[in-house]
Structure 1
Amino acid sequence: MSHPDSPVPGQFVLVLHSHLPWLANHGRWPVGEEWLYQSWAASYLPVFAMLRRLADDGYSDMLSLGITPVLAAQLDDPHCAASMYEWLADWQLRATEAAVATDTQRRELGAREYRSASAALADFESHWRHGAAPMLRRVAASGVAEILGGPLAHPFAPLLDPRLRRFSLAEGLADAALRCGTRPRGIWAPECAFAPGMEAEYAAAGVGHFMVDGPTLHGDTALARPVGDTDVLAFGRDLSVSYRVWSPKSGYPGHPAYRDFHTYDHATGLKPARVTGKTVAAKDKKPYDPQRADPVIDRHVDDFIGHVRHRLVEESARIGRPALVVAAFDTELFGHWWHEGPIWLERLLRRLPEAGVRVGTLASAAANGHTGAAVGLPPSSWGSGKDWRVWEGPQVSHLVQLNAEVSATALDAVDKLVDPRGGRSRVADQIVRETLLTVSSDWPFMVSKDTAADYAVRRAHTHAHATRELVDAALRSHVGQAEQLRRNWSRADNLFADLDARRLHTTEALSTRRRSH
């Protein structure tokens, strides 16, 4: 779609949501740490490299970047960093094997992958040797993007015990402040999930704005809306624009010229094919050719810009004032799922201002006055049906019951074990840590969508078992056994070192005081 470069009214905001569940020390292949390293290599490395280039070229206020605390913890974890380095080296070795094959197509594939692996290794050695925190601080300090926070361990908040929900959010924001050097004012609520009343909890935690899906605002996403009687703003994802890229039925990544995600060369684990066609069998797919894909990327950039311009003009006319268009995606789409995604993304962000589109962040959209009248929001999410069925439907009722039981057990134990004015209890800390890992929204999602469902159920029950046996030993005053269990479990689940169970009391007291005022 062609477009003139005359300015259009309003503002466009791109939001990226970066998240993976805690995978370290819980399997490698086919589900486990491999998922982390694939996403790190294909998405996080190029996206942060893009942000560095944009910042160096003087761009600012280009997008809102959500990084969940559980993902940041893995990107900062020494075990994960060392294993990632090994994974990149293995990628290079696999490419070398392909590059010396007798088959011409495999040799070309190997040479291309060797160059990519070598570039990724150099990037990792230069920028990631101290983890993600220095990268996040650089992004925040440069102003190229707004960092969004979120609750610890990515729970489906509406179904979580309110006390644990408030604690998880407060701790998640504190964790982001430690890593980024600044406390986020905006959050990506896990799964864009909302229940009436959560806006008051957001206000008490100091959250200024958050994301919901478009249908939560009945499709009227042209302005951010204060929720209830708070000043907390809900921004809605514009589905008509977002679905141009990634939709349940179509989108750019399915173009025949792009690299196929699902087809592997089983001898090397590399991906040799292009999509070719939606109904073409893997064995019949044509070899991937980057030169064939490159002009398609440009066409899709132009198409997306054209739709953004049209939507801004259309929505501004409808509401009688400059409108807002928010497109939101999982960061892992760009590179991991859609190989050409990072190139498309950088070209898009550079060309949007040239095409007369004002680009900004959620924070700048609020500051620029793109806000409307207050609304009440319904129970909602960005999952199937835009309701809670993915996380509380009959297919995951066993996990809903498990989460409720484990949360109640843990909170009762912490109340008995912890004196908020006394010393720290590492056992209580680990009880809370394992509880938060149990209630991760990823496990019911994976069951509902039948993606590695057995792994998801096993993970939920593993963390539930850890919680229960820690609680049992601690409440029986088996101090030595409880401490040994704590050490054993913390070797696997050593994230959120600053988590302090005593703050379950202080967070609740502070929240109560704020709500009373």
Structure 2
Amino acid sequence: MVTGYVSMILHSHMPFIRHPEIEDSLEERWFFEAMSECYIPLIEVYDNLIKDNINFKITMSITPPLMAMLEDDYLQKRYLEYLKKSIELSEKEIIRTKNNKELNKLAYFYNERFNKLISIYKSYDYNLMNAFKKFDKSGNLEIITCSATHGLLPLLMVNPETVRAQLATGIQSYIDCIGHSPKGIWLPECAYTYSLDSMLKDFGIQYFITESTAILNASPKPRYGTFAPIATPNGVCAFGRDMESSHQVWSNFTGYPGDYYYREFYKDIGYELPMEYIKPYINKGGIRLDTGIKYYRITEKTDKKEYYNREAAMEKVREHGSHFASSRFNQINHISQNMKQPPIITCPYDTELFGHWWFEGPDFIDAFIRKSAEEWTNYELITPSQYLEKYPMVQCSNPCPSSWGENGDYSVWINKSNDWIYRDLHSCAEAMVRLADTYTNPNDLQKRALNQAARELMLAEASDWPFIIKNNTTVEYAVKRVNTHIERFDKLYDDITKNKLDSKYISHMEELDNIFKNINYEIYKKDIY
């Protein structure tokens, strides 16, 4: 008997990291790693579930930059080259490790894995959006949208026009790719503020995902906490993250990914083998990188790691998948006794956790879904929109401004390390609004320049850049990306207003930053909505 529901939601996002101007971009490898470790393995999981007649339901946001990169011819070709190099390296590893039985077995595992990846990639005509659209059409996957470049909307609200532009462009990109309007949205970083719900309503969005604090601190206090959606004053529904299920996966101390039998993330042959051997498979500038071939398991808190055992890891996956399913069973059994409608457990995660940081993550999702399909369970997997169809009566309550970042606020994205970004972003946003209001009947070249200015502004607004700066990772790259897009915007603004447009320069910018092919700068007009 069904007494509750579980909604697993995977947020799939990468910044727009397409660099045809660089021979061997380090950042493009972020994308290739995510394809190999997250997106293709998940596609394989979904295909196998369908093959085994398991009627699963799962939700994924796929952000516009990620959609654009997955469909980009240049990146598709570059990824194919990357896969072929991975296969070549694994073949060399089979030879190199022939005298070590455990390592040699792992070398064969990676060789088979890379060949499987390229086989799946080819089967979808080198475009992974073909796979995700297939699952969307079958009803197993609900794809939701995001803002255009994952800009942190509450911090951009100084200029409401730029927030509307982010939403309009993101939704239009979704429609252009998927073929229908989105029902839900993943607000970037789950960041919400009061004025957003009216905009979401204007764009036909039914629901969004929030951090638990947005629900628990809502006004009036929600009757069922995060175990039921709430409706904003404008009727857009909010689903809050469940903390128990989140803790089981995300916790640094007790979360599943830290189990000693799982693969160690931080030991890769790209850093360990002699340079003359590994050089063809790392960056052409000689910078050591992850190759995806990692031979050790987490073991314990020690530098002496034991070899990875795939069979033992898969046994742990089944154990953890079963535990996660049993936990949802017990949780729903307890909660449902005090509710007048079946509860929903909302489980949102970054897709990139599953496969990249947690190598066995896609297998865990597979194990959990298969366990959930067994008769003993008291819940069904569901998407947020399906839950709203079943239970349309939703308590009205105003979510609290929040994010799923540290402290539950916006401080990760605006602090002493990165607050300088916003002065330039707000200035450019004001300038973009002026351009849209001024140039109501542009010629073809002016229109191209205006559209490109809109692209550059949106790319500068990505929340990835302040996040990287705050976390002190690839800071130089993030700072360069912000400054480069601002400089390009400023030049385009200057050229437009002084009527000195250079068609060659515009064409070059259109080639480099070719996202949002159907963008229309007029979305920045003050009176468009």
TM-score exceeds 0.5: yes
Tell me the residue number matched to 1:450: 472
Tell me the residue number matched to 1:336: 356
State yes or no: 1:136 paired with 2:158. Answer: no
Match 1:440 to one of 453, 459, 462: 462
Whether the aligned pair in 2 keeps the contact of 1:301 and 1:348 (CA below 8 Å) is yes
Tell me the residue number matched to 1:316: 336
Q: CA deviation at 1:75?
A: 0.2
Tell me the residue number matched to 2:191: 193
Tell me the residue number matched to 2:288: none
- Give the structure-1-normalised TM-score: 0.91
Q: In 1, distance between residues paired with 2:3 and 2:394?
A: 16
Tell me the residue number matched to 2:524: 504
Whether the aligned pair in 1 keeps the contact of 2:57 and 2:141 (CA below 8 Å) is yes
Change (3 A) 1:441 1:428: same
Structure 1 window deviating more from structure 2 (61-70 vs 381-390): it is 61-70
Q: CA deviation at 1:249?
A: 4.3
SS of residue in 2 equivalent to 1:211 = strand
Equivalent AA in structure 2 for residue 300 of structure 1: H
Whether the aligned pair in 2 keeps the contact of 1:215 and 1:386 (CA below 8 Å) is yes
Unaligned runs of 5+ in 2: 218-224, 279-290
State yes or no: 1:406 paired with 2:428. Answer: yes
- Give the structure-2-normalised TM-score: 0.89
Q: CA deviation at 1:424?
A: 7.1
Q: CA deviation at 1:218?
A: 1.2
Tell me the residue number matched to 1:98: 93
Q: In 1, distance between residues paired with 2:174 and 2:103?
A: 44
Q: In 1, distance between residues paired with 2:132 and 2:470?
A: 33
Match 1:16 to one of 4, 7, 10: 10
Match 1:204 to one of 178, 202, 205: 202
Q: How many residues align?
A: 496
Whether the aligned pair in 2 keeps the contact of 1:37 and 1:87 (CA below 8 Å) is yes
Equivalent AA in structure 1 for residue 333 of structure 2: V
Match 1:181 to one of 167, 179, 183: 179
Tell me the residue number matched to 1:127: 124
* Structural mapping, 1:39-118, within 5 Å: 39-60=34-55, 62-102=57-97, 103-104=99-100, 105-118=102-115
Q: In 2, distance between residues paired with 1:152 and 1:420?
A: 24
State yes or no: 1:227 paired with 2:232. Answer: yes
SS of residue in 1 equivalent to 2:401 = coil
Whether the aligned pair in 1 keeps the contact of 2:49 and 2:56 (CA below 8 Å) is no
Change (3 A) 1:193 1:396: same
Structure 1 window deviating more from structure 2 (433-442 vs 90-99): it is 90-99
Equivalent AA in structure 2 for residue 209 of structure 1: Y
Q: In 1, distance between residues paired with 2:299 and 2:62?
A: 34
Q: CA deviation at 1:352?
A: 0.7
Q: In 2, distance between residues paired with 1:423 and 1:315?
A: 61
Change (3 A) 1:247 1:101: same
Change (3 A) 1:205 1:289: same
SS of residue in 2 equivalent to 1:440 = coil
Change (3 A) 1:212 1:420: farther
Tell me the residue number matched to 2:492: 470
Percent identity reads 25
Q: In 2, distance between residues paired with 1:128 and 1:333?
A: 26
Change (3 A) 1:206 1:369: same
Q: CA deviation at 1:299?
A: 1.0
Q: In 2, distance between residues paired with 1:93 and 1:109?
A: 15
Whether the aligned pair in 2 keeps the contact of 1:245 and 1:252 (CA below 8 Å) is yes
SS of residue in 1 equivalent to 2:419 = helix
SS of residue in 1 equivalent to 2:227 = coil
SS of residue in 1 equivalent to 2:264 = coil
Equivalent AA in structure 1 for residue 297 of structure 2: R
Whether the aligned pair in 2 keeps the contact of 1:395 and 1:448 (CA below 8 Å) is yes
Equivalent AA in structure 1 for residue 13 of structure 2: H
Equivalent AA in structure 1 for residue 452 of structure 2: Q
Tell me the residue number matched to 1:515: none
Q: CA deviation at 1:371?
A: 5.2
Q: CA deviation at 1:30?
A: 8.0
SS of residue in 2 equivalent to 1:396 = coil
Q: In 1, distance between residues paired with 2:334 and 2:474?
A: 42
Q: In 2, distance between residues paired with 1:465 and 1:362?
A: 41
Tell me the residue number matched to 1:276: 299
State yes or no: 1:147 paired with 2:143. Answer: yes
Q: CA deviation at 1:321?
A: 3.4
Tell me the residue number matched to 1:25: 19
Equivalent AA in structure 2 for residue 286 of structure 1: E
SS of residue in 2 equivalent to 1:221 = helix
Match 1:252 to one of 248, 251, 256: 256
SS of residue in 1 equivalent to 2:495 = helix
Q: In 2, distance between residues paired with 1:427 and 1:469?
A: 10
How big is each residue's C-alpha offset from its partner over 1:213-250, in whole Å with a ceiling of 9 and x where there is no partner?
A: 1111117201111012x221001110111220123544
Q: In 2, distance between residues paired with 1:399 and 1:247?
A: 31
Equivalent AA in structure 2 for residue 454 of structure 1: E
Q: CA deviation at 1:110?
A: 2.1
Tell me the residue number matched to 1:262: 266
Q: In 2, distance between residues paired with 1:173 and 1:55?
A: 28
SS of residue in 1 equivalent to 2:396 = coil
Tell me the residue number matched to 1:392: 414
Change (3 A) 1:370 1:385: farther
Q: CA deviation at 1:134?
A: 2.2
SS of residue in 2 equivalent to 1:100 = helix
Change (3 A) 1:465 1:74: same
Whether the aligned pair in 2 keeps the contact of 1:203 and 1:231 (CA below 8 Å) is yes
Change (3 A) 1:497 1:303: same
SS of residue in 2 equivalent to 1:329 = strand
Change (3 A) 1:465 1:423: closer
Whether the aligned pair in 1 keeps the contact of 2:19 and 2:25 (CA below 8 Å) is no
Match 1:429 to one of 420, 428, 451: 451
Tell me the residue number matched to 1:299: 319
Q: CA deviation at 1:504?
A: 3.0
Equivalent AA in structure 2 for residue 405 of structure 1: S
State yes or no: 1:359 paired with 2:381. Answer: yes
SS of residue in 1 equivalent to 2:348 = strand
SS of residue in 1 equivalent to 2:209 = strand
Tell me the residue number matched to 1:172: 170
Tell me the residue number matched to 2:286: none
Structure 1 window deviating more from structure 2 (393-402 vs 78-87): it is 393-402
Q: CA deviation at 1:202?
A: 0.4
State yes or no: 1:240 paired with 2:244. Answer: yes
